[in-house]
């Protein structure tokens, strides 16, 4: 439904920024950042990526943190519609991929409702990038036949309501987003559902950035590892036998992987 009385002739681009390393941005994402009239961005967008936005471009911060929402999702939705009415090109910049735990589809549905043209520009999701930078394949022949993406928290900090039995398959890798606050419940419920407490787990903080930290532990020791390390979000848990490959593959990567390029080198 088109909002009465408005001429909505702008376009909103729902752009995935990846998990932090500016070198993981797509060429299309960089081009849109450089040509946008306004950029609406989240808390987890790295400073290196923010520096790609021209100084003359309007920037609107709408970051959220667990328990602290400076701008509600409803207000972000209406903001995008309002900006589209007065700006030719609006970039909604999201960490990771807009359609994977990024609420991009909620925003897209709202834009459709008000007749605002939009385009989705995929980004590298955190699970894939963080695991790769840590030397962990999410799938591996003979070890992991598939991967499940899990949100480790619920809206309004409600208790987790997951089908724990479906997550107990030892042949599946679990990539847990936003699970820091519920790490004790995640570990205990998975063990209760049948996952071995000896299952390897990789804990990755600030993945793909210069401040990345990673720890290899077991499912039974996961809560102790997290609390001892005093981790801060964003943190990714990779649960499964593939995590045991981290030391071997990460060591090989250090031979040939170049450091992330400076933001200025990414301009196209």
Question: Which pLDDT belongs to residue 189?
Answer: 97
d(CA 89, CA 211) in angstroms, rounded, equals 33
For tokens 């990846």, name the residue. 18
d(CA 213, CA 235) in angstroms, rounded, equals 9
Walk me through the domains of the chain, giving residue ranges and CATH numbers: 11-124 (3.40.1010.10), 127-252 (3.30.950.10)
Express each pLDDT in 172-212 by its tens digit: 999 999 999 999 999 999 999 999 999 999 999 999 999 99
Closest residue by Cα to residue 148 from 111, 173, 122: 173
Question: Which pLDDT belongs to residue 65?
Answer: 63
Known catalytic membership, residue 64: yes
Known catalytic membership, residue 42: yes
Which residue out of 42, 94, 97, 250 is catalytically annotated? Answer: 42
Express each pLDDT in 144-167 by its tens digit: 999 999 999 887 667 788 999 999
Instruction: Burial-class residue 192 by CB neighbours within 10 Å (0-12, 13-18, 19+).
Output: exposed
Please report which confidence band the pLDDT of residue 225 belongs to, taking 50, 70 and 90 as the band edges: very high
Which residue out of 28, 37, 64, 89 is catalytically annotated? Answer: 64
């Amino acid at each position: 439904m088109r909002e009465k009385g408005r001429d909505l002739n702008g376009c909103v681009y729902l752009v995935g920024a990846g998990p932090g390393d500016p070198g993981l941005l797509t060429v299309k994402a960089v081009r849109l950042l450089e040509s946008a009239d306004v950029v609406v961005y989240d808390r987890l967008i790295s400073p290196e990526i923010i520096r790609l936005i021209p100084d003359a471009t309007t920037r609107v911060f709408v970051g959220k943190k667990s328990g602290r929402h400076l701008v509600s999702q409803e207000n972000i939705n209406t903001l995008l519609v309002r900006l589209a009415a007065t700006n030719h090109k609006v970039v909604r910049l999201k960490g990771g991929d807009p359609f994977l735990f990024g609420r991009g589809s909620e925003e897209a549905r709202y834009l459709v409702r008000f007749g605002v043209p939009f385009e989705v520009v995929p980004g590298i999701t955190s699970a894939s990038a963080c695991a790769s930078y840590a030397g962990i394949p999410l799938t591996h022949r003979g070890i992991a036949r598939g991967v499940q993406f899990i949100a480790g928290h619920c809206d309004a900090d409600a208790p987790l309501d997951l089908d724990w039995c479906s997550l107990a398959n030892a042949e599946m890798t679990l990539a847990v987003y936003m699970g820091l606050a519920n790490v004790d419940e995640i570990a205990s419920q998975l063990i209760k559902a049948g996952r071995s407490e000896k299952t390897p787990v990789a804990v990755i903080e600030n993945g793909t950035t210069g401040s990345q930290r990673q720890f290899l532990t077991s499912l039974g020791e996961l809560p102790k590892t997290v609390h001892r390390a005093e981790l801060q979000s964003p943190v990714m848990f990779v649960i499964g036998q593939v995590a045991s490959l981290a030391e071997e593959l990460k060591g090989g990567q250090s031979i040939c992987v170049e450091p992330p390029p400076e933001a200025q080198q990414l301009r196209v």
